[in-house]
Chain A
Amino acid sequence: MKMNNFKAFSAIAFLWTGIITAAETSPTELLKASDRARGGLLKGLEWKVQLKTIEAGSTTEREFGIEAKGDDALIEALSPARNKGEVYLFNDRDMWFYKPGLRKPISISARQRLSGQAANGDIASTHYSRDYEGSIVGKTKIDGEPVFILDLKAKDKKVTYDRIKYYISEKSKLAMKAEFLSLEGEPFKVATFKYGNSILSSGQKIQFISRMTITDSKFAENISDITYVNPKEKDFSGSKFNINNLAR
C-alpha cells in the first residue's frame, strides 16, 4: 500500500514538474534554439548536403552546396552531373529556382518534392520559430531523453508543411524528431535528427545537425537520408541572395 502511494506521489510530482518546466519554457525560445542547430538564425553559414533517396527499391543520390545568412539561403546542385548548376534561392518564405537553359528564375513552392520524401524546403536552413506558431502539448522520452512535444501550425501557406508535431530535447534544446501532419492531423512523413557536427560561431561552439532521415509513414521502405557535411561560419554579402544578382 505504501509502495502504491509512493508511485502515485512520484507520478504526480513528475507530471507537475513537467507542467511547471513546460510553463517556464517558451515554445518560441525552444524553436529558436533548435533552429540554430539546423542552420537558422545564424549570421552566415555554409555547408554541403548529401541527399540519398530510396524509393520503390531504387536509390538516387544528390549533393548540394548551401550558403545561408539570416532568413536567406542559396542552394546550388553539385551532383549528379545532370543537375549541376541548378540553383534554389530562398528569400524568407519565398523560393526561386533557376537552371541553365531557363531564361529567368521562376518562383516555386517550398512544398514541392525535391527527391523522394524530401521537399524543396527540407534542404535549406530551418526557421520554424519564424514560420510556425508553436505550443507545448506534452512531454515524452526519445531514446531515454526527456523531450517536449510541440504542436506547430504554419503562419503562412508558403511554408513547407502545414502542421508539425515537433519533439525538442528538454536538455539540449535540439530537435529530435518531427512528424509532418496532413490536414487531417495524420503523420504522412516522420523525420529524425542527429547532431554529430559542430560549428564555431562568435567564439562559441554550437552543435549542428549531421543527419536528417525522412521516412514515409505508410511505406517505411521509402526513405530520404540527408547528411550535412562540413558546416562552417562564413561572411557573405547580402547581395548574394538578391534575385536580381542570381548567378545565371
Chain B
Amino acid sequence: MPSVFFTFIFLLQIPAEKSAVSDLNFKLGLETYTLGQYIAEKKSTINIDNRVFKSPRWAGDLDLRPSAKMSFRDLKFVAEPRFELQPQWIPHPLTKNEFRLERNFSLTQLYASCAFSDALNFSGGVQNFQWGPAELMTPSNPLIHFDPRQKSIFWVEKGRGLLKINYSLGENFSLIALTQIFDNKIPDWIAGYDSKYIGLLKIEFQKGGSDYIGLTGGKGDKSRVWIGEYASLGLLDGLSVYGDARHTLGSDAFYPATTQNGISLERIKSESSRMESLADLGIRFDGRLDIRGEFLINSYGFTKREFNSSLQTALLSGSLTSVESSRALHPGLELPGKYYLYQSIRINDLGPGKRITLLERYLHSLMDQSGIGFLSTEIILNDFMLAVAELAVPRGESNREFTLSEGISIQAGFKFSF
C-alpha cells in the first residue's frame, strides 16, 4: 500500500499533460485530508450506554482521494477512488470502551463518457449526477438522498452506477434519460426495502444562469412512480428564488402503526392515493456574500407523535442490528419531520491576503424546535495546503431530532492537494 501511494505521488510530479498524440490528455490529482475529531457526549434515553448509535468520542481520519482523468477528443475516462483510515475510540460508560480501526475503500466515480455529436452525449459507470438550485436537498432527484453528514465540508457523495444519455436541442434545452443499474454499495435509504434499479427522465430548459426550469419523472424497482420539478428565477442582480419538489401518490416510507405486538413500523401509506410532496423553496443572494434561506415542506414526514413512536422501536430493540429496528432511523424519509428552515452564508476572501473562507449553515426542525448549526473554515497556508476546521453544534432538548446521539463536535486538520 505505501509503495502504491508513493508511486502515485511520483506520477503527480509529471507535468499535468503528457500527450503522445496531441489530442490525448491525462491528468492526475490527489487530495488528502488528515483530521482529528472530538464529539461530545449527549445524554439520550434512546442511546443508553451509547449502544444504539455507537458514536465515537475521539476519531482520526486519513482520507485519500486520488483522481485520474483521461480524454481523447470527445471521449473521456474518469476514475476517483477513495481510501479512508479512521481510528475511533467509542465510549460505553456502563460496559467496556471500544477502540476500532475502520478501513474503507470506495469508488466515488469511475465512468466513461463520449460525445457523439454536438447534441448527443453518453456516459456510463459510477458517476455523481446532480442538479437543481437548492442547497439543502434536491427532491426532484430521488437517486441521491439527504444525509445529515452531507452538510460537512468533508462529505463526498458516492456516485451511483448509471447509464446516461443527454440529448440537447440547442443550448437551452436538454433531454436526459438515465438508469441506475447498481447502487455502488450505498446503504439502504429505506432499510431492507430500497430500489436498486431506477429509471429516470429529465427535461431541462434554460433561459440563463439563474433562469431555468426542469421536469423529472421515473420509477424504481421497489419504489412508486414519481414526478418532480425544479426552477430558478433571477429577480434582481444576484438575487434569485428557486424551488425543487417531488410528488407521488402514497408513500413507500415506513410509519409507526399499532399492531397486536405493539408498535411496529409498517408501510401504511403504500396503498394510499393521496398526493404526497416534498418541496424545498429558497431564496439566494449571490454577491460578495453567498446567502441562502430555504423552507422545506415534507408531507411524507412524521408527526411529532409518529416521530416519538418510531424512536420507541429503536429504544425497544436496543440496537440497530436488525432491519426492523434500523427502519426507525432509515424509514424512507429524506428528513423525518414535516417542516424545516435552512440558511447558509458563505464568505470568501477574508483575512490577511484574503486567504480565509467561512461557511455557516443552520438547519432547524419546526417539528420539535431542534436544530444543528455548522461553522466551517478553510485557510490557505500555501499552494498545496489548507487548514480546515468544522464545528457542529446541535441545539434543542434531549431526544429531539437533532439531539438524539451527539453533542457538539469539532473536526480539524489539513487538506493537501497535489
Interface of A with B (CB < 8 Å)? Answer: 55-56, 58, 71-72, 78-82, 84-85, 91-96, 100-101, 103-104, 107-109, 113, 157-158, 236-245, 247-248
Q: Is the CB–CB distance between B132 and A239 below 8 Å?
A: no
Q: Is the CB–CB distance between B156 and A238 below 8 Å?
A: no
Q: Is the CB–CB distance between B384 and A239 below 8 Å?
A: no
Q: Is the CB–CB distance between B171 and A80 below 8 Å?
A: no
Q: Is the CB–CB distance between A91 and B383 below 8 Å?
A: no
Query: What is the number of contacts between chain A and chain B, taking CB atoms within 8 Å?
Result: 117
Residues of chain B lying within 8 A (CB to CB) of residue A71: 171
Q: How far is the CA of A12 from the CA of B209 in the complex (A)?
A: 50
Q: How far is the CA of A36 from the CA of B182 in the complex (A)?
A: 47
Q: How far is the CA of A79 from the CA of B418 in the complex (A)?
A: 9
Q: How far is the CA of A101 from the CA of B171 in the complex (A)?
A: 26
Min CB gap A75→B, angstroms: 15
B128 interfacial by beta-carbon distance below 8 Å: yes
Q: Is the CB–CB distance between B118 and A91 below 8 Å?
A: no
B385 interfacial by beta-carbon distance below 8 Å: yes
B31 interfacial by beta-carbon distance below 8 Å: yes
Q: Is the CB–CB distance between B131 and A244 below 8 Å?
A: yes
Residues of chain A lying within 8 A (CB to CB) of residue B380: 82
B320 interfacial by beta-carbon distance below 8 Å: no
Q: Is the CB–CB distance between A58 and B118 below 8 Å?
A: no
For residue B240, which residue of chain A has the nearest CB? A107
For residue B378, which residue of chain A has the nearest CB? A82
For residue B133, which residue of chain A has the nearest CB? A107
Q: How far is the CA of A94 from the CA of B232 in the complex (A)?
A: 13
* B393-418 contact mask (Cβ, 8 Å, vs A): 1 or 0: 00000000000000000000001011
Residues of chain B lying within 8 A (CB to CB) of residue A241: 171
Q: Is the CB–CB distance between A245 and B171 below 8 Å?
A: no
Residues of chain A lying within 8 A (CB to CB) of residue B130: 103-104
Q: A109-B286, A237-B117, A242-B174 are in contact. Are A79 and B157 (CB under 8 A)?
A: no
Q: Is the CB–CB distance between A247 and B118 below 8 Å?
A: no
B168 interfacial by beta-carbon distance below 8 Å: yes
Q: How far is the CA of A243 from the CA of B353 in the complex (A)?
A: 32
Residues of chain A lying within 8 A (CB to CB) of residue B206: 91, 94, 243
Q: A104-B131, A113-B349, A245-B121 are in contact. Are A82 and B417 (CB under 8 A)?
A: yes
Residues of chain A lying within 8 A (CB to CB) of residue B138: 104
The residue from A82, A108, A242 contacting B121, defined by CB atoms under 8 A apart? A242
The residue from B31, B131, B144 contacting A100, defined by CB atoms under 8 A apart? B31
Q: Is the CB–CB distance between B204 and A244 below 8 Å?
A: yes
The residue from B118, B168, B208, B353 contacting A56, defined by CB atoms under 8 A apart? B353
B180 interfacial by beta-carbon distance below 8 Å: no
Residues of chain A lying within 8 A (CB to CB) of residue B417: 80-82, 84
B109 interfacial by beta-carbon distance below 8 Å: yes
- Give the top 6 A-B pairs by smallest Cβ distance, nearest first: A94-B209, A238-B118, A80-B383, A237-B115, A107-B209, A81-B417
For residue B210, which residue of chain A has the nearest CB? A107
* B353-396 contact mask (Cβ, 8 Å, vs A): 1 or 0: 11000000000000000000000000010011110000000000
Min CB gap B137→A, angstroms: 10
Sample 17 A-B pairs with CB under 8 A, ordered by A number: A81-B384, A82-B383, A82-B386, A82-B415, A92-B208, A103-B144, A104-B132, A104-B138, A107-B133, A107-B210, A237-B115, A237-B118, A238-B119, A239-B168, A242-B121, A245-B123, A248-B127
Q: How far is the CA of A94 from the CA of B206 in the complex (A)?
A: 10
Residues of chain A lying within 8 A (CB to CB) of residue B155: 101
Q: Is the CB–CB distance between A94 and B353 below 8 Å?
A: no
Min CB gap B57→A, angstroms: 27
Which parts of B68-83 form the interface with A (CB within 8 Å)?
A: 69, 74, 76, 78
Min CB gap B122→A, angstroms: 10
Q: Is the CB–CB distance between A245 and B166 below 8 Å?
A: yes
Q: How far is the CA of A113 from the CA of B288 in the complex (A)?
A: 9
Q: Is the CB–CB distance between B121 and A239 below 8 Å?
A: yes
Q: How far is the CA of A177 from the CA of B67 in the complex (A)?
A: 41
Residues of chain B lying within 8 A (CB to CB) of residue A238: 118-119, 168, 171
Q: How far is the CA of A94 from the CA of B207 in the complex (A)?
A: 9
Q: How far is the CA of A58 from the CA of B67 in the complex (A)?
A: 31
Residues of chain B lying within 8 A (CB to CB) of residue A96: 209
Q: How far is the CA of A100 from the CA of B383 in the complex (A)?
A: 17
For residue B76, which residue of chain A has the nearest CB? A247
Q: Is the CB–CB distance between B286 and A239 below 8 Å?
A: no
Q: A103-B157, A237-B117, A244-B204 are in contact. Are A82 and B128 (CB under 8 A)?
A: no
Q: Is the CB–CB distance between A239 and B109 below 8 Å?
A: no
Residues of chain A lying within 8 A (CB to CB) of residue B29: 81, 84-85
B249 interfacial by beta-carbon distance below 8 Å: no
The residue from A113, A239, A248 contacting B115, defined by CB atoms under 8 A apart? A239
For residue B381, which residue of chain A has the nearest CB? A82
Min CB gap A140→B, angstroms: 33
Residues of chain B lying within 8 A (CB to CB) of residue A103: 128, 130, 144, 150, 157
Q: Is the CB–CB distance between B208 and A237 below 8 Å?
A: no
B268 interfacial by beta-carbon distance below 8 Å: no
For residue A234, which residue of chain B has the nearest CB? B23
Min CB gap A76→B, angstroms: 9
Residues of chain B lying within 8 A (CB to CB) of residue A157: 237
Q: Is the CB–CB distance between B349 and A244 below 8 Å?
A: no
Q: Is the CB–CB distance between A58 and B353 below 8 Å?
A: yes
Q: How far is the CA of A109 from the CA of B174 in the complex (A)?
A: 23
Q: Is the CB–CB distance between A239 and B176 below 8 Å?
A: no
Min CB gap A241→B, angstroms: 8
Q: Is the CB–CB distance between A94 and B67 below 8 Å?
A: no
Q: How far is the CA of A241 from the CA of B209 in the complex (A)?
A: 13
Residues of chain A lying within 8 A (CB to CB) of residue B386: 82
Q: A237-B118, A245-B121, A248-B128 are in contact. Are A82 and B157 (CB under 8 A)?
A: no
Residues of chain B lying within 8 A (CB to CB) of residue A158: 208-209
